[in-house]
Structure 1
Amino acid sequence: MLGLSFVSVSASAADLENTLYLDLKDGRVTIELRPDLAPAHVERIKTLARQGFYDGIVFHRVIDGFMAQTGDPTGTGMGGSDLPDLKAEFSREPFKRGTLGMARAANPNSANSQFFIMFNDGDWLNGQYTVFGRVVSGMEHVDKIKRGEPVQNPDKIVSLMVAADAQ
């Protein structure tokens, strides 16, 4: 029993609270949330995920070489949740492949439920959109999301859940 530590058990429980499982048609994507960068946005995503808000929502805007956007229950890019919009939480965290950012309208404080996952680096977005997480595994499944703007017969989120709730 020498050398065993129980610190890792509590650390992994905290990690599960800030981890999302995004199930797509091709498999599971694991997302590390970043409450250190965007606490209000992380809380919003977790709240909506726990309500089942994202389950079945389409990827309505998917641009090859750029990003896949989802989170609009209308599927048009114009909708959101019934919750109030969020104030921007911009950071110095760069938009790299696998980064998750919140979509918004022209007003920086208009993010609500829509988010996007970067296919490639997008440095021109740095400091303009809120970064709230990153893909840590399963990016190959994100790469298989059907492209289009708008997407014809779009892929859907099968399920989005907080990992701590999947236990």
Structure 2
Amino acid sequence: MQALGLSKAFTLIEPGPVVLVTTHDGHRPNIMTISWTMVMDFTPVFAITTGAWNHSFAALSAQRECVIAIPTVDLLDTVVGIGTCSGRDTDKFARFGLTAVAAKSVKAPLIKECLANIECTVADIIDRHGIVVLEAVAAHIDPERQERRTVHAVGDGTFIVDGCKLDRRTLMAAKLPPGV
């Protein structure tokens, strides 16, 4: 084994997939790219890591809701572009040609071009670690979307694309929640 600098350790377990999080501040929607996500429970409860350095964080904190949109590999350059500009001075929906669709339960919009969208409310914000805990209130998927591969950030400007799917449902049946 060779030593790896601790500043690079996160690249070994960087989660995925990369998601787009939409918010609405009461005046206009915005989008931020998030690569640090976590599934916390089957109910479903999720967490994202963000903070005041992201323009969308103010709307997320004030409105206490958002949409987690799941992009696919064909949107990678758009996802990176969204993450490298600020909603302070950019209408990201217009700049990247994305379609905002009214959500069922929250003011933040769905993104039509994404494979799936999960409407969420904010359950908790753990400021010390920049963790926002989200409870899903509605979920949507585009069953006709041909591209379904998601991307995972390594953390160094490179990405991994989902590959083949391995089925172990029979072996895990006792641990899966009903209906999954």
- TM-score tier after normalising by the smaller chain length: under 0.3
Q: Greater strand share, 1 or 2?
A: 2
TM-score for the superposition, normalised by structure 1:
0.28
